[in-house]
Amino acid sequence: MSHFEKMCVNTIYAFDPTYGYSLEQLLAVAPPAKEPADFDLFWQQRYQHALTLAPQVQLTDCHETVLDWHVFKISYLSTDNFPIHGWLLLPSSGHITRGFVIGHGYGGRDAPDFHLPFKDAALLFPCFRGLSLSGRADISNQPFWHVRHNLNHVEHYILGGCVADIWLGVSALLQLYPDLAGHLGYLGISFAGGIGAMALAYETRIRRGHLNIPSFGHQPLRLRLKSCGSADSVQQFYCCHKKQTMKVLRYYDAATAAKRIKIPMHCACAKFDPFVAPPTQFAIFNALAGEKQLSVLDAGHYTYPQQQQQEQALLAELNGFFAPLIN
């Protein structure tokens, strides 16, 4: 354990956010051994249904340019006629050669990510259902409660709707720019990393993906490792509803889904993380069977000494990783 990790464990948390895993041990964490027999049928039916829906995209020009990005507000319809709101960034000059759907963490999103290096791309930043611009009165926007929404029902658990929000986001981007077919990527961090793995397991229109400190990996392990935030909320719920909770979460396991992902993938996983236990992050990366790259971070969901340098190095890696998408 590094001096940084020891300091954090000793002074801030009542548990060890490394969980005692070395990097070698993290790279050996396998996805859950058991999965629902109808896992693929469950998700394929949802994906095929999403493909039948028209996203009914609406764009509003914000008449604003930030760091050479032309800013638009965007909305589209997801499954259950749920209106999804967010932003679309377009290059202020030059041609659009590729597109990205970019998800957010459980803190939501109050603005697009203007710092991304893909200056030739259309960047879609949806706010997932119940969160930020896509908030609704019957769904809490607080991670503690949002992650429990319909957790007692396999068909209606909120994470399934959020996965569909990604699929309909792809449809929305292709409605606007059909020439970008075959040139689309996905980036998701934390919450969006986990649901991104579930989405990419079946999404055939995305050609490359990146998952950053992804959540919802190896649900049985996630329920056992003491954590903060939404994971703690699910653990508390599980204590009172064990059988039903596990029955639902087996279908919403990002590591189980990752075994199905066929496209090239890039992951950033942390060795220290009090909110998304590192073994559950690495379970997702380890489950990927195809072409994959890994960036190992000192920490996730925590400010640490080398954070800025590691984030800059990660952006440089992603710039190269997604270069094959250029049309």
Annotate 267-289 with DSSP letters as a single string. EEEES--SSS-HHHHHHHHHH--
- Say if 327 falls within a structural domain: no
Host H or E run for residue 322 = none
User: Per the structure block, which two tokens stand in for 69?
Assistant: 């990005």
The model's pTM is 0.96
**pLDDT at residue 182 is higher than 80:** yes
- Say if 133 falls within a structural domain: yes
Annotate 107-167 with DSSP letters as a single string. T--SS--TT-S-TTEEEEEEPPTTSGGG-BTTB--SHHHHTTTTTT-TTT-HHHHHHHHHH
- What is the reported pLDDT for 12? 79
- What is the reported pLDDT for 252? 98
For residues 12 and 26, give the distance between their C-alpha atoms in angstroms, rounded to a whole number: 23
Average pLDDT, the chain: 95
User: From residue 38, how far is each of 34, 41, 75, 85, 190 by CA, in Å?
Assistant: 12, 5, 33, 32, 26
**pLDDT at residue 1 is higher than 50:** no
| Cα torsion 274, 100, 73, 95: sign | positive
Mean pLDDT confidence for 94-106: 96
pLDDT in tens, 228-283: 999 999 999 999 999 999 999 999 999 999 999 999 999 999 999 999 999 999 99
- Say if 70 falls within a structural domain: yes
- Say if 205 falls within a structural domain: yes
**pLDDT at residue 5 is higher than 90:** no
For residues 151 and 218, give the distance between their C-alpha atoms in angstroms, rounded to a whole number: 17
User: Per the structure block, which two tokens stand in for 7?
Assistant: 């300091």
- Count of the separate structural domains present in the chain: 1
**pLDDT at residue 20 is higher than 60:** yes
**pLDDT at residue 212 is higher than 90:** yes
- The residues facing 250 across adjacent strands are none
Instruction: Give the CATH number of the domain where residue 9 resides.
Output: 3.40.50.1820
Three-class DSSP category at 62: strand
User: Per the structure block, which two tokens stand in for 303?
Assistant: 């400010």
Q: How confident is the model at residue 94 (pLDDT cuts 50, 70, 90)?
A: confident
The domain in which residue 203 lies consists of: 3-322
Contact between 287 and 279 (Cβ < 8 Å): no
pLDDT in tens, 137-153: 999 999 999 999 999 99
- What is the reported pLDDT for 11? 56
